[in-house]
């Protein structure tokens, strides 16, 4: 919410909990204007010459009020912000855009922004300004989400219904954030409706959702409870049941995922508020046969307790106790032999953040945080059913992370706004201790009322590292701490750009960035990432650089909204002694051109149509370039076409492009509102490459009585994932 | 409602599997071919070596003529010698086909690899183009299988598994390859993996199978004792497949050349047990 003293044009912005403080010269009468994007602007007159507390509740700008609604102009708000490289999206915006299988996915919506590349087809992975997927800090109500994916990355863990908004920082990070090199994705859950009980839900192709919210006991306490679940296992169970007497039938594995989100907030007093947030989500895959069974499950558990306290009109504090846990577990029973493999990361965190407004035009933020981590990596337990044979292996590590920060946002010479901050972070794992200073700077210089110049700098350190052996977001990817051998990763990013508005309706932004990365981690060739108690020794350490430019033309207001986002970028990694002799190479996600066009048109109160079109240079792939004949030792099969690999990621796949379309038909039944959303993914059924692999076909030849298998044909084969995929979702609210 | 859902998901699955896989023409980066060396020194067997050359991945394959395929990769006219103590063993160019094991060598000596687990063996190859390739190795001692236990399932009394007991030397770092064949030695192994001795905290080691066997089946358990270089080579060789979801790797070779070369020159011992499943 923005609060402006209209007499003096002194402006304040509330923090994420709604607290604000405005200091202005004493006057007999003061006029306040409170506004927010998507809310009806409220005007107030205050009289008196002393500090006064004003609690403001803004009404949402609904369709019914459209004709008379005045809301914050988001173009002007973005123009004057000191933040650079910030993208935000609300659930409301995400819900009208086309979605794969009709599943609204707020992380996939972020992929449509400049500077953010998606991973492989359909994946919710994010590659931000040349950073790897592990370099994104994903927060849900302040708690870290370690694996934000369901179903191997095709869906994110965020059920859109209980989500209020998402803000992504790509550069010039505010000082309160740290711990990852490339981005911070700050997801906020809604608070329950304090006026009335309401329900929101939907029935889709893959999942169904239901969200309940309302006052609890009285209007001082609210709750929101939301659940989502897939149907796939219900269908496969049904098929397995029908076919159970068919001896030739191979049982279909059962798979499901579900999420539960909840949040309770209560006002203890005029100055104290408590929030309890929780998330529990799980994926489960199961196959049980008489001789063989496998169970594979993974999930996140997150809990946050936050206490807001207003010390005085100028000082606000939030103290949070945070718990986050991610695990995977594979249980396998094979012929009387039981085997389980699992990994886990868990953290407990305590943090306090203070917002202090010492004088007009100053907004000071400061805070401290400490986090205790537990890492269980590759925990293997194997035993025969009769317990005569058993193995046990795995790595358990603990670590502490500390951070403290302070920043001030202030104005100089009227036109220049500066946000300067300093963050100190430290990491302790056994006897190894590392501490770092991370300067942060954001500047905005207004050139008249329609243009501004911006610049920023941020240093980030990352103390935990993702151990991943695949290009996909697999649940078996595990986090590993910095140790005496594995150093923290570090990035320094400078960015500069300009923003301009056209008639206060269209915002044009252009940013340039250059990011240096040090102590980047990768794995040596043929690294042994499973069942390895000395995982430290498999890491390679090197450097990286990413640079590029992003241009966005955005129309955020009116019946016709949308944006065009273009990114030109380069990413290089190198100086890894054990990889290509230290030479530089491009990671798979080094995408040179990335263009996204998003348009949404509200035809009338009943119909809204949206379309997106994305184009990206093809991803890089590491394909073999040569082949060799190896015959191996006696008893082992011959390998006549053994692939020989050259430089990493030296092959670029064909370009990716796809168009999606959605049509939302809104209905207004007596009991509330509902809509039918038709979403068509890949409208022109483009066969985008998911991956390319090389296939050798062999044939048996009889040579002088000896049967010999010789290679006959070698081909490159492209696999695509999704052709045109229409889906329909029914959503309701009452 | 349930029927609608089933139909919707089935429709999605059908769509997803329609024509989404096609052959494509691609241009791979340029490849610089090199020499490929493969030689295993097994005590009691003759010195043998296979010298071939690598090819660009899409180099044309001679079809319908296996000899032409081998002729296209075999490297002739090289000078190959193995130095062991004061002995120099010259391997003459001769096609040696090991029919039972389906292996082929193009450099051969009648000399037999000695049971010498101490001394170094050095390989020297002078390629036809004037390049030189060298490698060194030793022969690891033979580590026997202590015993094999045949165990029948309680739930399925006609199904059996084998449990293999071995003893590792706790004072040395050892590398193993374990191959299990079912019914015949020229079949595709039902288990084939390499491991070091780090998994076990005790010298006694145990490896097993599932209840995969029936009475009368023949099971061949082979335990190879590997040099570290051979262990790394096999690991990298097995990782070099073209699975698009895993990180491939460079083959870890122990040969060094003045010309592009890779491969493995290593000593090797193994112990094989043949078990006929019976109660």
pLDDT in tens, A542-567: 999 999 999 999 998 889 999 999 99
Sheet holding A639-645, edge to edge: A639-645, A624-630, B55-56
The superfamily (CATH) of domain A189-694+720-733 is TonB-dependent receptor, beta-barrel domain (2.40.170.20)
Looking at residue B14, its pLDDT comes to 43
The answer to whether A613 contacts chain B (CB < 8 Å) is no
Nearest-CA distance A97 → chain B (Å): 20
> Residue range A165-173: average pLDDT?
91
Residue with the larger pLDDT of the pair B154 and A304: A304
| Whether pLDDT at A476 is above 90 | no
Mutate to test the interface with B, among A122, A526, A527, A720 (most CBs of B within 10 A): A526
Domain residues of chain A, as ranges? 2-72, 86-188, 189-694+720-733
Rounded to an integer, what distance in angstroms lies between the CA atom of residue B119 and that of residue B122? 10
CATH class belonging to A86-188: mainly beta
Query: Is residue A206 within 8 Å of residue A232, measured between CB atoms?
Result: yes
**Domains of chain B with CATH codes:** 35-137 (2.60.40), 145-252+268-276 (2.60.40)
Looking at residue A246, its pLDDT comes to 81
Looking at residue A494, its pLDDT comes to 96
The answer to whether A208 contacts chain B (CB < 8 Å) is no
pLDDT in tens, A380-395: 777 666 666 666 777 8
Q: Note the maximum CA span of chain B.
A: 84
What percent of chain B has a predicted confidence (pLDDT) above 90? 56
Provide, as residue numbers in chain B, all residues whose Cβ is less than 8 Å from the Cβ of A206.
9
- When pLDDT is cut at 50, 70 and 90, the band that residue B17 belongs to is very low
- When pLDDT is cut at 50, 70 and 90, the band that residue A130 belongs to is very high
SS3 A111: coil
Query: Is residue A347 within 8 Å of residue A326, measured between CB atoms?
Result: no
pLDDT in tens, B80-104: 999 999 999 999 999 888 887 888 8
Which range among A198-202, A382-386, B166-170 has the greatest average pLDDT? A198-202
- When pLDDT is cut at 50, 70 and 90, the band that residue A703 belongs to is low
pLDDT in tens, A452-462: 999 999 999 99
| Whether pLDDT at B4 is above 50 | no
Residue with the larger pLDDT of the pair A384 and A464: A464
Helices (H), A557-682: none
Looking at residue A388, its pLDDT comes to 60
- Tokens representing A587 are 């990671």
pLDDT in tens, A267-286: 999 999 999 999 999 999 88
Residue with tokens 């990852």: A180
C-alpha pair distances (Å), A1 with each of A15, A20, A107? 8, 9, 24
pLDDT in tens, A635-658: 898 888 999 998 889 999 999 999
Nearest-CA distance A714 → chain B (Å): 7
ipTM of this predicted structure:
0.91
Is B15 within 8 Å of A724 when comparing Cβ atoms?
yes
State chain A's mean pLDDT as an integer.
87
- When pLDDT is cut at 50, 70 and 90, the band that residue B243 belongs to is low
> Residue range B61-68: average pLDDT?
76
Looking at residue B5, its pLDDT comes to 41
> Residue range A603-622: average pLDDT?
93
Looking at residue B250, its pLDDT comes to 84
The answer to whether A38 contacts chain B (CB < 8 Å) is no
Is B19 within 8 Å of A633 when comparing Cβ atoms?
no
Mutate to test the interface with A, among B63, B242, B249, B265 (most CBs of A within 10 A): B242
What percent of chain A has a predicted confidence (pLDDT) above 90? 50
| A128-132, A435-439, B20-24, B120-124: least confidently modelled range | B20-24
Looking at residue A68, its pLDDT comes to 41
Is A633 within 8 Å of B248 when comparing Cβ atoms?
no
> Residue range B101-110: average pLDDT?
91
| A113-117, A401-405, B209-213, B227-231: least confidently modelled range | B209-213
In terms of Cβ atoms closer than 10 Å to its own Cβ (0-12, 13-18, 19+), residue A316 is: buried
pLDDT in tens, A61-79: 664 444 444 456 777 777 7
Looking at residue A48, its pLDDT comes to 65
pLDDT in tens, A1-56: 777 777 777 777 788 888 888 877 777 788 888 877 667 888 888 776 777 788 88
Looking at residue B235, its pLDDT comes to 86
- When pLDDT is cut at 50, 70 and 90, the band that residue A473 belongs to is low
Q: Give long-range contacts, CB 8 A cutoff, 24+ apart: B206-209.
A: B206/A389, B206/B163, B206/B164, B206/B165, B206/B166, B207/B163, B207/B164, B207/B166, B207/B178, B208/A337, B208/A384, B208/A389, B208/B161, B208/B162, B208/B163, B208/B164, B209/A335, B209/B161, B209/B162, B209/B180
Looking at residue A395, its pLDDT comes to 84
What is the pTM (predicted TM-score) of this model?
0.87
Nearest-CA distance B210 → chain A (Å): 5
Is A393 within 8 Å of B58 when comparing Cβ atoms?
no
Looking at residue A578, its pLDDT comes to 85
Query: Is residue A156 within 8 Å of residue A107, measured between CB atoms?
Result: yes
Nearest-CA distance B90 → chain A (Å): 22
Looking at residue A365, its pLDDT comes to 96
| Whether pLDDT at A485 is above 80 | yes
């Amino acid at each position: 919410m923005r609060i402006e003293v209209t007499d003096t044009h002194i402006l304040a912005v509330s923090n994420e909990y709604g607290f604000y403080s405005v200091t202005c010269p004493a006057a007999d009468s003061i006029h306040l204007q409170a506004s927010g994007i998507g809310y009806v602007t409220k005007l107030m007159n205050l009289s008196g010459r002393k500090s006064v507390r004003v609690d403001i509740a803004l009404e949402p700008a609904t369709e019914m009020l459209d004709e008379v609604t005045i809301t914050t102009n988001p173009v002007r708000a973005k123009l004057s912000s000191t933040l650079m490289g910030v993208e935000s999206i609300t659930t409301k915006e995400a819900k009208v855009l086309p979605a794969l299988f009709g599943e609204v996915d707020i992380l996939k919506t972020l992929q449509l922004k400049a500077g953010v590349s998606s991973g492989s087809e359909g994946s919710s992975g994010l590659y931000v300004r040349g950073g790897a997927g592990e370099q994104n800090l994903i927060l849900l109500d302040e708690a870290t989400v370690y694996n934000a994916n369901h179903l191997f990355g095709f869906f994110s863990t965020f059920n859109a219904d209980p989500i209020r908004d998402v803000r992504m920082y790509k550069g010039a990070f505010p000082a309160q954030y740290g711990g990852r090199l490339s981005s911070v994705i700050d997801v906020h859950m809604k608070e329950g409706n304090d006026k009335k009980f309401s329900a929101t839900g939907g029935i889709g192709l893959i999942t169904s959702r239901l969200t309940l919210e309302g006052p609890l006991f009285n209007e001082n306490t609210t709750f929101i409870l939301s659940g989502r679940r897939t149907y796939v296992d219900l269908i496969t169970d049904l098929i397995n049941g029908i076919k159970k007497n068919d001896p030739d039938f191979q049982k279909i594995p059962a798979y499901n995922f579900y999420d539960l989100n909840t949040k309770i907030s209560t006002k203890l007093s005029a100055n104290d508020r408590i929030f309890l947030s929780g998330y529990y989500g799980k994926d489960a895959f199961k196959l049980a046969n008489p001789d063989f069974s496998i169970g594979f499950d993974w999930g996140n558990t997150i809990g946050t307790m936050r206490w807001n306290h207003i010390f005085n009109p100028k000082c606000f504090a939030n103290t949070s106790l945070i718990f986050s846990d991610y695990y995977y577990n594979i249980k396998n029973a094979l012929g009387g032999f039981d085997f389980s493999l699992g990994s886990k990361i868990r953290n407990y965190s305590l943090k306090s953040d203070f917002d202090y407004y010492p004088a007009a035009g100053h907004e000071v933020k400061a805070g401290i945080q400490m986090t205790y981590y537990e890492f269980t990596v590759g925990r293997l337990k194997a035993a025969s059913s009769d317990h005569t044979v058993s193995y046990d292996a795995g790595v358990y590590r603990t670590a502490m992370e500390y951070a403290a920060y302070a920043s001030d946002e202030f104005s100089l010479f009227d036109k220049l706004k500066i946000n300067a901050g300093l963050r100190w972070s430290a990491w302790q794992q056994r006897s190894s201790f590392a501490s770092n200073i991370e300067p942060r700077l954001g500047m905005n210089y207004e050139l008249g009322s329609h243009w501004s110049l911006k610049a920023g700098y941020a240093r980030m350190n990352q103390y935990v590292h993702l151990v991943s052996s695949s290009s996909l977001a697999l649940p078996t990817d595990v986090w590993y701490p910095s140790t005496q051998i594995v150093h923290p990763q570090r990035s320094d990013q400078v960015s500069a750009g300009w923003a301009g508005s056209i008639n206060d309706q269209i915002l044009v932004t252009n940013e340039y960035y250059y990011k240096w990365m040090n102590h980047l981690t990768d794995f040596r060739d043929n690294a042994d990432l499973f069942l390895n108690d000395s995982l430290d020794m498999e890491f390679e350490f090197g450097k990286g650089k990413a640079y590029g430019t992003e241009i966005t033309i955005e129309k955020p207001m009116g019946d016709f909204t949308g944006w065009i986002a273009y990114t030109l970028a380069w990413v290089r990694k190198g100086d890894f002694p054990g990889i290509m002799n230290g030479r530089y190479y491009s990671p798979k996600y080094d995408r040179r051109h990335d263009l996204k066009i998003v348009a949404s048109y509200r035809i009338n109160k009943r119909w809204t149509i949206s379309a997106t079109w994305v184009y990206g240079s093809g991803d890089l792939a590491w394909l073999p370039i040569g082949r060799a004949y190896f015959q191996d030792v006696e008893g082992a099969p011959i390998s006549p076409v053994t692939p020989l690999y050259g430089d990493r990621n030296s092959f670029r796949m064909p370009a990716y492009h796809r168009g999606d379309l959605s049509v939302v038909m809104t209905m207004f039944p007596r009991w509330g509102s509902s809509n039918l959303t038709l979403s068509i993914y890949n409208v022109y059924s483009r066969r985008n490459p998911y991956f390319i692999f090389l296939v050798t076909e062999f044939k048996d030849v009889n040579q002088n009585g000896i049967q010999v298998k010789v290679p006959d044909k070698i081909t490159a084969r492209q696999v695509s994932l999704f052709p045109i995929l229409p889906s329909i979702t029914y959503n309701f609210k009452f | 409602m349930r029927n609608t859902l089933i139909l919707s998901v089935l429709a999605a699955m059908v769509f997803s599997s329609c024509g989404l896989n096609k052959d494509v023409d691609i241009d791979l980066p340029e490849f610089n071919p090199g020499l490929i060396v493969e030689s295993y020194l097994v005590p009691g067997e003759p010195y043998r070596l296979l010298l071939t050359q690598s090819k660009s991945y899409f180099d044309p394959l001679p079809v319908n003529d296996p000899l032409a395929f081998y002729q296209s990769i075999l490297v002739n006219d090289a000078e190959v010698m193995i130095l062991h103590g004061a002995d120099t063993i010259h391997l003459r160019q001769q096609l040696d086909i090991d029919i039972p094991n389906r292996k082929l060598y193009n450099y051969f000596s009648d000399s037999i690899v000695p049971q010498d687990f101490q001394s170094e063996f050095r390989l020297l190859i002078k390629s036809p183009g004037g390049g030189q390739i060298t490698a060194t190795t030793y022969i690891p001692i033979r580590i026997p299988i202590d015993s094999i236990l045949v165990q029948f399932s309680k739930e399925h009394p006609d199904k059996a598994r084998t449990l293999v007991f071995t003893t590792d030397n706790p004072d040395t770092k050892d590398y193993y390859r374990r191959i299990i064949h079912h019914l015949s030695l020229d079949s595709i192994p039902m288990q084939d993996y390499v491991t070091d001795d780090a998994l076990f905290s005790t010298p006694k080691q145990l490896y097993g199978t599932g209840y995969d066997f029936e009475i009368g089946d023949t099971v061949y358990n082979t335990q190879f004792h590997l040099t570290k270089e051979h262990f790394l080579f096999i690991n990298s060789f097995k990782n070099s497949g073209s699975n698009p979801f895993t990180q491939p790797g460079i083959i870890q070779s122990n040969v060094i050349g003045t010309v592009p070369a890779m491969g493995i020159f290593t000593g090797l011992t193994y112990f094989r047990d043949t078990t006929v499943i019976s109660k």
